[in-house]
């Protein structure tokens, strides 16, 4: 089965760019997500963590 897929992918011109683009999207998404998490307001995190324990 993989030989058929490999053969089909080899016949597509310029197909080598797709794995590179996928890796770059994956990398930048997680770097951006990490930056967002570490730069998030610490007071807001404390407030949100206490929400399940509050009565109202």
CA distances from 53 to 43, 49, 56 (A): 16, 8, 9
* pLDDT value of residue 21: 95
Tokens matching residue 55: 């009565």
**pLDDT tens sequence for the chain (56 residues):** 778 877 877 787 888 898 899 999 999 999 999 999 999 999 998 998 999 888 76
- Please give the model's pTM, rounded to 2 decimal places: 0.60
* pLDDT value of residue 13: 84
* pLDDT value of residue 56: 66
Q: Domain tally for the chain? A: 1
* pLDDT value of residue 28: 98
* pLDDT value of residue 31: 98
H/E/C letters for each residue in 1-56? Answer: CHHHHHHHHHHCCCCCHHHHHHHHHHHHHHHHHHHHHHHCCHHHHHHHHHHHHCCC
Q: Which domain holds residue 36?
A: 2-53
């Amino acid at each position: 089965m993989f030989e058929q897929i490999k053969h089909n992918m080899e016949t597509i011109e310029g197909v080598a760019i797709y794995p590179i683009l996928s890796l770059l999207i994956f990398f930048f998404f997680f770097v951006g997500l990490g930056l967002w998490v570490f730069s998030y307001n610490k007071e807001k995190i404390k407030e949100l963590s206490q929400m399940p324990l509050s009565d109202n």
